[in-house]
């Protein structure tokens, strides 16, 4: 009896899946962040308009999307960040071959940023400047002589790395490192910019803050794999003392991923996805439109497609 129930349930689940698949020719997974939402919707609008296929956009994060791409439940994922998800790329793209990664990518950066005012008038231009007690003091908001800076949200992998970098560069002695939700960190930038107060903070791009304010990234020694020794907090309670990273982050990027089977099932779509070449500025603009201007992703996508017909045509060739 139990076995029968199991098979009935399996059939029901399968039928549900088939019904869902039949409703759309293509399923695009959309990550929660604004540029991911915008680009997923741009793909939907452009493909429906140009190829007459039905496209569904479904919200999901990278891990679930990769599982879906592997099993066939998902066809496209617009932003695979590297090196963050290199282990997934290795497993599904390189080893299994079930997922294809576009040869094009959007360059991304992370590091420490200041407002242009801070850069020009307070002379904070390089990460090493933060070690200078006199320069660090301009960021002091509690009268203890040390500056304060937001290094990311608690729980972010990058936040632990920023703590390691502060220790490795030595500015952990001159700056107090603050962990807060991103909205608190970004609102502090807004308030500093509104009153011309200096501020330094962890930043990553593409991000709408670069369009909202005049922002400069601090220079620092280039990434060197030989000097990058990161032990994660989750792996070792002594992670901080065992880690060293007195150099910039490894350059990162993100690319479109799609189910490899798409190359046979919908070759025109596969070609289109391989040709998508958003620039960093375009991705920043998407983030700004959705996050700051609060535009609806679907409406924004319609507008974008109607004003970028040449780009869409080029991607279809």
Partner 1 sequence: MAEIWRLRGRRGWAAALFIAVGLGAALAQAGSTTQIFDPKTHKWINYDRKKARQYYAAHGQVPDAFRRQIVPFRTAEKPGTIIIDGNQHFLYLVLPGLKAVRYGIGVGREGFGWAGIVRVGRTAEWPTWTPPAEMVARDPNAAKYANGMPGGPDNPLGARALYLYQGDQDTIYRIHGTPEPWTIGLDVSSGCIRMNNDDIVDLHSQVQVGAKVVVLMQGAALYKGV
Question: Tokens 């040869």 map to which residue?
Answer: 103
197 binds partner 1 (CB under 8 A): yes
193 binds partner 1 (CB under 8 A): yes
Kindly indicate which of the ranges 82-90, 99-107, 173-181, 309-317 contains the residues binding partner 1, using the contact rule CB under 8 A.
173-181
Instruction: Give how far Cα 205 sits from Cα of 83, 111, 138, 165, 282, Å.
Output: 14, 9, 25, 18, 12
45 binds partner 1 (CB under 8 A): no
Which of 180, 240, 261, 316 touches partner 1 by CB under 8 A?
180
Which of 65, 188, 248, 256 touches partner 1 by CB under 8 A?
188
176 binds partner 1 (CB under 8 A): yes
Q: How far apart are CA 314 and CA 317, in angstroms?
A: 5
Q: At what angle do helices 34-51 and 297-307 cross, to 10 degrees?
A: 50
Burial of 69 (0-12, 13-18, 19+ CB in 10 A): buried
Structural tokens at position 258: 């799609």
187 binds partner 1 (CB under 8 A): yes
Which of 38, 166, 186, 301 touches partner 1 by CB under 8 A?
186
Q: How far apart are CA 290 and CA 287, in angstroms?
A: 5
Do 130 and 174 form a contact (C-beta atoms < 8 A)?
A: yes
Q: At what angle do helices 267-275 and 34-51 cross, to 10 degrees?
A: 140
Kindly indicate which of the ranges 128-136, 192-200, 259-267, 309-317 contains the residues binding partner 1, using the contact rule CB under 8 A.
192-200
Write down the least CB distance from residue 22 to partner 1, Å.
Answer: 38
Q: Which is nearer to partner 1, 143 or 225 (CB)?
A: 143
109 binds partner 1 (CB under 8 A): no
33 binds partner 1 (CB under 8 A): no
Interface residues with partner 1 (CB under 8 A) are: 140-143, 148, 150, 176, 178-181, 183-184, 186-188, 190-191, 193-197, 208-209, 212-213, 291-292, 294
């Amino acid at each position: 009896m139990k076995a029968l129930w199991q098979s009935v349930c399996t059939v029901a689940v399968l039928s549900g899946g088939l019904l869902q698949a039949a409703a759309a020719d293509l399923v695009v997974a959309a990550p929660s962040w604004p540029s991911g939402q915008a680009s997923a919707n741009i793909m939907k609008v452009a493909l429906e308009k140009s190829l007459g296929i039905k496209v569904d956009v479904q919200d999901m994060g990278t891990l679930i999307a990769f599982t879906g791409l592997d099993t066939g439940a998902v066809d496209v994922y617009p932003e695979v960040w590297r090196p963050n998800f290199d282990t997934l790329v290795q497993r599904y793209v390189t080893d299994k071959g079930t997922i294809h990664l576009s040869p094009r990518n959007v360059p991304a950066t992370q590091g420490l940023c200041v407002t242009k005012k801070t850069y020009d008038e307070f002379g904070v231009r390089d990460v090493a400047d933060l070690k200078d007690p006199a320069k660090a003091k301009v960021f002091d908001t509690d009268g203890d002589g040390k500056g304060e800076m937001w290094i990311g949200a608690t729980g972010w992998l990058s936040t632990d790395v920023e703590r390691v970098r502060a220790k490795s560069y030595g500015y952990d002695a001159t700056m107090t490192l603050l962990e807060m939700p991103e909205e608190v960190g970004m609102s502090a930038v807004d308030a500093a910019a509104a009153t011309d107060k200096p501020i330094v903070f962890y930043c990553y791009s593409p991000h709408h803050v670069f369009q909202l304010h005049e922002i400069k990234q601090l220079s620092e020694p280039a990434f060197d794999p030989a000097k990058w020794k990161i032990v994660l907090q989750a792996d070792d309670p002594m992670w901080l003392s065992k880690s060293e990273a007195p150099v910039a982050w490894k350059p990162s990027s993100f690319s479109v991923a799609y189910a490899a089977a798409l190359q046979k099932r919908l070759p025109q779509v596969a070609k289109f996805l391989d040709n998508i070449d958003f620039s960093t500025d375009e991705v920043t603009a998407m983030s700004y439109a959705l996050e700051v201007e609060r535009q609806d992703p679907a409406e924004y996508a319609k507008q974008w497609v109607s004003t970028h017909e040449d780009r869409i045509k080029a991607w279809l060739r």
